[in-house]
A and B are shown apart, each in its own frame.
Chain A
Amino acid sequence: MGGKTDRRVFLKLSTSAAALGAFGALPAQAQTGSTLTVAWDSDIDSLDPHVFKSVGGYAVECNIYDSVIGWKVQPVDGKPGFSIAHPSEFEGGVVEAWSFENDGKTVVLKVRPNMKFASGHPVDGAALKYSLDRALLSPGYMRFVMPRILQISKAEDIVLRDPMTVVINMKGATPQPMVLNLLALMNVTVMDPELVKPNATEKDPWAADWAKRNVAGSGPYTLTTNTPGVEVVLDARKDHWTGTAAFQKVVFKFVPNEADRVLLLKRKAIDMVVGRPGLSPRSIKQFENDKNFNVFTAPDTVCNWLAMNQTKKPLDNVKVRQAINYAIPVAAIVPNVLLGYGAQMKSPLPALMPGFDGGLSPYKYDLDKAKALMKESGVATPVTLDLAVRIGWQPHEEAAVWIQRELEKIGFKINITRQTDATFRQLASKGDMQLSIETWQSWVNDPFFHLVPLFHSTSKGTNTAFYSNPALDKLLDENYHEPDANKRLAAAKQAQKMLLDDAVWGLLWNDNWTRVVRKGVTGIAKRWDTFDHFAAMKNG
């Protein structure tokens, strides 16, 4: 093994030497002080914040729009230049102050004075009201999420109380952190009505076609160029309420291949890699001891689990699912696949989520127990099952091989199938999967917001286990808007217990949020929606 390590170090050296040779003559763009160059692998499918399609648009929206409320980030001890958000800590955004009235049924939002859109138009209560209406009613993700959380359904539920104050009249009291988390999403941002409205048509009253490719934001950057497949350029605004960003220009280079992203970083042609996941653990590890880079990493709320489709035999058998949970070698996967950039998952809730209880799970790697459970289940072995992973999701592909080997020891024959992301999603939502490795992150850091799409029997497409438990449904429905925080947390714990007893998921791990950043760039922050706000970053 020693010899092998030496060789790899040597090769690494020789490749970076080669890189220097190739680019020695060219000035590295990343060195120029006021431009931040990042690599990513997405195109912008839609710039309309209220229509959430994929992360490509969202990552850019995070910098050209302002959120209504912000997640407050706090510096991490011992990691200068790095901050993270903590649960239920907020700060002002478009809204300078907020309060709840009427026994928590009414949200009052005070718009920040003297704020301007990039267009120069003022940001006021009317603009906020228009934007909330648009989020609620235009055809997109928010039309699906807002009624569910806020218990509102029509424009009349949002009222302009005075020129700078907007109130939301909810049907009932709603847990405040959940409301604020929703308002902190960039999906509920303010759009400049003076730009949007003229583009509305009878068929398209919210100008969705226009907003898909045009920007009407108040954020610290403006979108200068968008060349799909090549680059996206943002320029800093001089008149943003937070001041002018240190990085005057942000360039997103489209680099579809992870190996190339690593190389560009190494030769400092880019300052960092953004996007999700951007870099796999194996790539990140290469920068861990590189004095030219900082690796910022912190636990996050991304869940990765072995999805077991209960409409497929024998996965409908709880004993089989429990057996699988005892056979999963998580303790080996975390160091070998995640290389430490993640932690074993102990509950269907991520560890950072309110209500999480890590002491409930009985599962640990125990093949004897697993074999015993298989025997108890009465299922005739060997059982042949497909295990699907997404192509290019390196940790999933690797974990699948580990899982395959252990499951075959307890009587399964596992075929690993690799699917493109699109096919994978299609198969999963149609229920054509047997076993698959799934991933999910709830940007609203709330247990019920998290559990309903994943386990409620009415959640189509996202409940990939096709789990159906009336008792759980009832529990989730009754407590979704429970204002009593303690009662709600107790219900969350009960739900976790039910899910663990039923072994709905094969628990795998929670990913860390990680950024590899050129030394000297500071102001990196992890928020619950994971995307970087470049305005807070600077050199030194």
Chain B
Amino acid sequence: MAVAALSPVWRRLRRNWLSIGALALIALMALAAALAHWVAPYEPDDTDAAAALAVPNIHHWLGTDIYGRDLLSRIIHAGQVDLTVALGATALALVIGCSVGVVAGLYRGIVDLVIMRCVDSVMAFPAFILAMAITAALGNSVTNVLIAIAITQIPNYLRLIRSEIFRIREMEYADAARVVGNPAWRLMFIHLLPNALPPIIVQGTLAMGYALLTMAALSFIGLGIQPPQSEWGSMTAEGAQYIVTGEWWLFLFPGLAIVLMVLSFNLIGDSLRDFLDPRMRGVR
């Protein structure tokens, strides 16, 4: 059913070459990261004193760092961490947000009230600041960054699902179906899924970009992901030290990797929204 709902999406996307490009870029990066061991021209930790701080050249397309490590290889390997955490955080937030949202929507009353007050409190923090505080509290690790980002994202899905449930409850056919004897949960899923799925897909796509940015910013300021898991944000931070001596490639390319990935996710998310959001349909 979900697949069927998405097939027009696919048709729409295919017409939008920009989104295709974005999708291809993400696929390329994901594939390269997954197969980093085979794809990357060098091992990420291979040092070469003779080629230290080399400008981008034919052997090292994106140059090398102070140890002569190949920047391109390190960026590709870093993609593993970046994309995994972004995907993991988004998935975790989606699952928890939707489940709790269903609970809030179904039980209403006091349960809903408590849940929504918690949501309000979480949303009272700018997301990045909260992610920062949570990471600081839990300690630096990939898992903790993932959890921190997920927590800041949960309210989005929760509210989305909850309002969708409230909307369905209001609808007459839901009443009719109840009279016919469909159990409440079945009813929910029959009606909820097709209605709530599109906005959740849009939200999830955009959240991938957000998660990448947050994670990069966290490790840029020294929180979050620590080497040996090289990560684009911390690589940018390392590279920043070499601006003064003119080794621009060290900060530029890891940052560019972030920009390209986030841009791709946002472009896809935007196209999906244009298509899936009925208010925007046919605008262009």
Contact = CB atoms under 8 A, between A and B. Distances in A.
Interface stretch (A5-13, A115-123, A172-180): A5-13
A416 B228 contact: yes
A298 interface: no
Given A8-B245, A398-B67, A416 B54 contact: no
Contacts of B45: 401, 404
Interface string A389-416: 0010000001001101100000000011
A259 interface: yes
B47 A262 contact: no
A499 to B, nearest CB: 30
A8 B54 CA distance: 11
Interface in B108-162: 140
Interface in B183-217: none
Interface in B32-56: 45, 47, 49-50, 53-55
Nearest to A388: B226
Contact of A8 (B66, B67, B246): B246
Given A4-B54, A401-B47, A405-B47, A262 B226 contact: no
Contact of B222 (A14, A391, A405): A391
Interface in A1-33: 1, 4, 7-8, 11-12, 14-15
Given A417-B228, A418-B226, A11 B67 contact: no
A1 B228 CA distance: 29
A336 interface: yes
9 contacts: A12-B246, A260-B244, A398-B66, A402-B47, A404-B45, A415-B228, A416-B227, A416-B228, A417-B227
Contacts of B53: 4
B243 interface: yes
Interface residues of B, number: 21
Contacts of B47: 401-402, 405
A1 B227 CA distance: 29
Interface residues on A, range: 20 to 34
B224 to A, nearest CB: 12
B241 interface: yes
Contacts of A402: 47
B246 A15 contact: yes
Q: What are the nearest 4 A-B pairs in CB distance?
A: A11-B246, A259-B244, A415-B228, A401-B67
A82 B54 CA distance: 37
Given A336-B49, A416-B228, A423-B140, A262 B66 contact: no
Say whether chain B's binding surface is mostly helix, strand, loop, or mixed: loop
Nearest to B66: A398
A160 interface: no
Interface in A443-480: none
A11 B245 contact: yes
A526 to B, nearest CB: 27
Contacts of A404: 45
A419 interface: yes
A11 B247 CA distance: 9
B140 A7 contact: no
A227 interface: no
Nearest to A391: B222
A501 interface: no
A258 interface: yes
Contacts of B140: 419, 423
Contacts of A423: 140
Interface in B233-284: 240-246
Contacts of A214: none
A263 B244 contact: yes
Nearest to A261: B244
Given A7-B55, A14-B246, A260-B244, 14 more contacts: A4-B55, A8-B246, A12-B245, A15-B245, A15-B246, A259-B240, A336-B49, A391-B222, A398-B66, A401-B67, A402-B47, A405-B47, A417-B226, A419-B226
Contacts of B55: 4, 7
B43 to A, nearest CB: 11
A420 interface: yes
Contacts of A420: 222
Contacts of B244: 15, 259-260, 262-263
B69 to A, nearest CB: 8
Interface string A262-273: 110000000000
A14 to B, nearest CB: 8
Contacts of A259: 240-245
A108 to B, nearest CB: 51
Interface string B60-103: 00000011000000000000000000000000000000000000
